[in-house]
Amino acid sequence: MSSQTAWEEKFLSKIKQSCDLDDSLSFDDFAQDRNKIPRYKKTLFVLDYLPKWQFYIQFLVHVRNFRKDVGKKIDLLRLSDISRNHIKGYSRVIFAYHDPLRQLYPSIYSKSKKLEELCDSLGIEFFGRPNGLSNTSKSVMSRIWQQNNIPCVRQFKVNSMEDIFKIKDLKYPVFVRYDCGHDSAGRRRSELFYSQDELKHSDLFNKKKYNAVLHFRDKVVTEFYETVSIDGLYRKFRTIVAGQETLNEAINMSSSWFVHRRDTVLNRKFVKEHLNFQNQPLSQAFKKVLVKANNVLGLELSAIDWSVDKKNNIVLWEANAHPSWNNWIIHNEEYKRKYIHFIAKTMIK
């Protein structure tokens, strides 16, 4: 067995295990003005709390542990502590929270708008604008992308069966899921419905289904888009987009039309395709689509999920403003260094 084959087998074994995220980050790790570097040479992160599964939390954990050269240029502040004096002098402020912001977390949205106003009044570059973080509900995202001629699945916010039937050009089959919230487990969606008659006989709008719960609310009907590959598998790709730059992160392969990480085919074929995707540059045509898709949503950074159809046309599913860290990143040291470097290069002053 070659060293590469042995590494791939070890990697495959590790990614089948649960992901153990470091939850040791504290605000004191990046306390304001803790060193002699002036604020104008630093980036200030503003966070409400420190959930270990949030994208920027794990980024800061890894910077603290492995990239002290980057960490010394970062300060951290609680959202509840924002004031003119606390943010004055920084070259860049980055606000991070779950999304879609306004729809799911209106009180945090209001506080972040005040932060945005402060930064704008002081001439500070501000990342994580509240309106951009509110454009990531599935229906809003789909509408904005369609208005900008970006190839994507069509998704419509609905409150009732009647709302679905009012969409005159709706193309079947369709499925229903939450409009707001990122279901990384892939559990919160319906089966496919191939006609209005099938919908009429379903219990989709039963009061117990798709009620507003923590991190999820509202309903969206999504048109099915055929992306099955010649080998019978469905593939979904994820690419990190920051400004004009991109970094391929992961590929999911599934025998199911609804491709999520929990359904991924985990075998040697997957590992080879996954690693190849990470190491191959995007075509300029695909990169142009993804960069534009991120920009029109008003986002500085997102992880965009996309597929290709039988004609090799790209189609976008959704943008994740705060993508999750997973064991596919954690257990690949070479890629993890590349990933952290990309985020630091594109986000930190």
Alpha-carbon span 211 to 200, nearest angstrom? 19
- Whose CA is closest to 299, among 163, 156, 96, 162? 96
Cα-Cα-Cα-Cα dihedral of 339, 344, 347, 349, to 10°? -170
Measured between alpha carbons, how far is 89 from 254 in angstroms, rounded to an integer? 49
Q: Label the pairing between strands 92-96 and 245-254.
A: unpaired
pLDDT over 90 at 339, yes or no: yes
Answer yes or no: are the C-beta atoms of 339 and 346 closer than 8 Å: no
What per-residue confidence (pLDDT) applies to 18?
76
Q: Average pLDDT in the 279-304 region?
A: 97
Domains of the chain with bracketed CATH: 20-129 (3.40.50), 154-223 (3.30.1490)
Distance linking the first and last C-alpha atoms of the chain: 45
The pLDDT of residue 212 is 58
Confidence band (pLDDT; 50, 70, 90) for 262? low
Give the span between the Cα atoms of 97 and 132, in whole angstroms.
Answer: 12
Q: Can you give the pLDDT at residue 265?
A: 87
User: Is the separation of the CB atoms in 93 and 39 below 8 Å?
Assistant: no
Q: Check residue 17 and give left, alpha or beta (phi > 0: left; psi -120 to 50: alpha).
A: beta
